[in-house]
Amino acid sequence: MANHKSALKRIRRNEAVRLRNRYQHKTTRNAIKKLRGETSKKKAEALLPAVVSMIDKLAKRNIIHDNKAANLKSKLTKQVATLK
């Protein structure tokens, strides 16, 4: 167990950050799944900027790697472009 006040605070803070990161990551994954399941081009094009923004925020905060973010955005954009 931690012996210092600062260590105890760090433990509490790490847990809060971990839960926030988990929530944001899961929310983004659900948005990606929703976008991939979309069959209407109009709806998908409306949803794409919001999803791309979420992915960028995850990458900026180092929740996901920058390259993973780029790959996700590329694949989603290509998929939306192929819809009719």
Q: C-alpha angle with apex 68: 56 to 13, nearest 5 degrees?
A: 60
Q: How far is CA 20 from CA 8, 24, 52, 63, in A?
A: 19, 6, 19, 10
Domain that holds residue 41: 5-82
Mean pLDDT across the stretch 13-24?
A: 98
CATH of residue 45's domain is 1.20.58.110
Stated pTM of the model = 0.89
> Looking at the 3D structure of the chain, how many domains does it have?
1
DSSP secondary structure letter of residue 52:
H
* Residue 2 pLDDT: 77
Q: Check residue 13 and give its pLDDT.
A: 97
